[in-house]
Structure 1
Amino acid sequence: MPLGKISKESAEHYVWGERCDGWHLVKGSDLSVIHERMPAGTAEVRHYHERSRQFFFVLSGTAVLEVDGVSWELHPHEGMEVPPGVPHQMKNESGAETEFLVISQPTSRGDRVQAD
């Protein structure tokens, strides 16, 4: 992969869920960095990863990260690590959109298992 500057505007974009956005800032097999946007009242499906370790870092807004049955409210410039095998779910229970980074090592692509 060539070296160079990356931004949300130039990154590969995708839509997940019904109304959420993601931008691949780094998309490698050993490391993934994704900038995500969740509108108010949205949530991802509760899941875990068999190999991938993840770090969620809120850029703006407020998010709730449920990790193994415990909910943590994350504000701008706060983050939390989720080890492999631990069920988790990112939610936006606020009235405004939230943006955050999801850093996965190795990539979480193909490593996601839906939790009950």
Structure 2
Amino acid sequence: TCYAAGLRISEAVQLKTTDIDSQRMVIRVEQGKGLKDRYVMLSPKLLEILRSYWKVRRPEAWLFPGDRAGQPITRDAVGQACAKARDLSRLPKPVTPHSLRHAFAVHLLE
């Protein structure tokens, strides 16, 4: 989601299920950087992935719930997941949530 929508990690972990607007094909980012609300594009592919994810996990309030009841996943947990995926993939470069945002911007320009 960070890559497909260009979200900051702090924005992605705070997403609620109600922030996904499949009619307008946008994601509402509440209180992003500078405490500003904004909308980002929702690609058809990301919507498909999120729908599949929802069918399996059935998140209620938070789109990405954490281990603690009623809380979203933490930024650290996402960072650890990126590091684990990097190790399993044997990629030589670091993979961080911010590098996904950066890759989104680069690929959008290309």
TM > 0.5: no
- Comparing both structures, which one devotes a greater share of its residues to strand? 1
If the length of structure 1 is used for normalisation, what is the TM-score?
A: 0.26
- Comparing both structures, which one devotes a greater share of its residues to helix? 2
